[in-house]
Structure 1
């Protein structure tokens, strides 16, 4: 079925024609295969899996959509005998055994020496309902029940693979341009996978805590520039607001101590094979304090040699 994130009005992502699943450069006489860099894109129907696949395709990955888990290893081995080095598969719900089948397929890939990473695409229930209703489509697991029944069944089905995913992307409040930026930061490395990639995200608590956050920091203990008339209209990216927030008595100590916490955590994450870290920094509205702190954390992580990008989820939402 079509992806409601891309088929919704105004949400389309430009890209090339649909992928031909024939593997280029295949040498049928070769029996040796080199390890392939593999990304498995999965998650909730309507959350944007196909959009993610098209972004990866634009970044130079060979992408196959709607691939059954049982065909994952054969396709990877077929590509590895040719000139493919970066392969991505968008895997959708096809059966009640989907989750266990996919988990087993990923384990087999790892045992074969490839480097599978799982990208899990998520969205809140109310967002998924809105996307499906705007396209007048049924959920693939809806059956004779309601749309919410189908979403709930799929969410339960994906619990196992969701918990093992390398990278979560929540598209509830994300447009296709922000999705592209997130995936570019994670995968546009020309085959060179960094030990750890960090996304530092500002948000407003009044809009909800990001579901894809690994760590959440509360910046509401700092004075709010909203109550300073000459600063209210500006954001944490503007020098006046940034200097006001970072110049508070507790701000420097807070940043120093939490940076030390991150320096303690990062080696452990690397040892455990974690390749992506999402640090969410919240304030009331996601406009002033969290934005300034997010930019500073991203700067400090970059200075420590970590590929870090700042993203501001709720900036401009008021």
Structure 2
């Protein structure tokens, strides 16, 4: 780390708090942040948060600080609320990133890794996961960005992190997630729109085997009555919501675009909506959650 800046007042760094469910990808997220130039500290006792922020604030090279805090801290984790209150009194409001995944996926990940859950003790992993969800419930509600990693591989998670935290400019960043209603709603979506009001290309033999990424399907969907009107009005709605989010200090929005199976209509409309948002200078990533499922 560079030497302190002689004669200059301490400047508080941008602070990102990374938390969430054990096994949900915090290690991969930390690596992605480190690659983007964040100074990353893992498993810090919350009582030391403000000391760390003040220390980093004395150095020119470390203006962006990411701290991983979770239940591995044991009894120290209970100090988090007080530590956040202390930071707020000192004028530091961290952005909170919360990573989660379904119980089924978390159990499978722990079994694959052959390691116990931090709260497992001599009990079952499913009981430890439920206890952790209860302990983290209030933190999840307060999070600025929630990412569900259940269906994400490491490269997709890295892309989500890069989109959200690559630059230090203040602006809205969006993730558009296409999905199939028959597979469930995206649990991390802030907004959800239903494309089942449009005719389904699934019932057209030559389009059935294609996806909304292909021009034949996309053209079919976008040329249906109501498609253009939806894009016009919904992009305007997102713009209004985004301005409100920014006023409230929220810089991230996840938009779910659904159809029956997540293959045709939601994919085509998701890509089209993302293009509209980019035209509005909103940095936007598209994720097709259920593409490839039968």
1:33–1:81 contact (8 Å) kept in structure 2: yes
1:96–1:157 contact (8 Å) kept in structure 2: no
User: Structure 2: any 5+ residue segments left out of the alignment?
Assistant: none
**Equivalent residue runs for 1:134-213 within 5 Å:** 134-189=112-167, 191-194=168-171, 196-213=172-189
- Aligned mates of 1:217, 1:87 — CA distance in 2: 35
CA shift digits 1:251-302 (9 cap, x unpaired):
1222223223223322221211111000000112211100111111111112
Pick from 246, 249, 260: which aligns with 1:270?
Answer: 246
TM-score, reference length from structure 1? 0.87
Which has more helix, going by share of residues?
Answer: 2
Q: Could you say what secondary structure the match of 2:94 adopts? A: strand
- Aligned mates of 2:80, 2:148 — CA distance in 1: 21
- Aligned mates of 2:227, 2:190 — CA distance in 1: 22
- Aligned mates of 1:68, 1:252 — CA distance in 2: 51
- Aligned mates of 2:11, 2:243 — CA distance in 1: 29
- Aligned mates of 1:30, 1:317 — CA distance in 2: 60
User: Structure 1: any 5+ residue segments left out of the alignment?
Assistant: 1-23
In structure 1, the residue matched to 2:277 is: 301
CA shift digits 1:108-159 (9 cap, x unpaired):
3233233411110000001000111112211111123211111011110001
- Aligned mates of 1:104, 1:296 — CA distance in 2: 44
29-38 or 179-188: bigger deviation: 29-38
RMSD: 1.7
- Aligned mates of 2:8, 2:86 — CA distance in 1: 19
2:101–2:149 contact (8 Å) kept in structure 1: yes
**Equivalent residue runs for 1:18-97 within 5 Å:** 24-27=1-4, 32-83=9-60, 84-93=62-71, 94-95=73-74
